[in-house]
Amino acid sequence: MTDQTHAARMDGIYATQRHFYDLTRKYYLLGRDRMIAELAVPSGGSVLEVGCGTGRNLAAIGRRYPDARLYGLDISAAMLDTARSKLGDRAVLREGDASGFEAAALFGVNGFDRVVFSYTLSMIPDWQGAIARGLAALAPGGSVHIVDFGQFERLPGWFRRGMRAWLAKFHVEPRAAMEGEVRRQAGGSGLTATVRKPFRGYAVMARIGV
């Protein structure tokens, strides 16, 4: 199931930007490589990235965990075209809505050892539903890993205002309720949540698992 309005919006934004997305985003999508280093994917384990975009993170995960099985989901067909050209047959990629996908139907996989959200929840309208679907897609003993924009709370006021205005141009909204929602859903699933706010609150990093 795909939210066609959101899909069209994402394709509209990234039809051109996807060609230089990775070059520009490395300067302000902070914490992605730290999250990848902390995944600790088990030998032969499976990793699903929800909102995989150009495939940059999946490529990095593949380099760090060479025997991992990689899967990617994105609502933007344009972004997936770029990801396929980058990853080839290294990853299984599917188009779908982060808040309404069924892992078994899309990927033929009943559960993943790691589910990753990297700077995607701030762009997904039903971001709470996306977290819930990520948890539902976990294999026993698996974990969900999140990195996204924080609230910039320990940064200057001028920076907070400017950053929020700039992000809004790309339909990006840092989720003020992220920590509470992560802890609520973790508790409801009988799991434990850890939440950090590195880079003076620029980013929020979370893990939900056993």
Of 208, 135, 168, whose CA–CA distance to 13 is shortest? 168
List the chain residues with pLDDT less than 50: 1, 18-21, 23-24
Query: Which residues are bridge partners to 148 per DSSP?
Result: 204
Residue-wise pLDDT for 52-61, tens only, equals 999 999 999 9
Phi/psi of residue 50, nearest 5 degrees: -90, 120
Residues 6+ apart with CB under 8 A from 24: none
pLDDT at position 9 is 58
pTM: 0.88
pLDDT at position 14 is 52
Residue-wise pLDDT for 20-56, tens only, equals 445 445 557 999 999 999 999 999 999 999 999 999 9
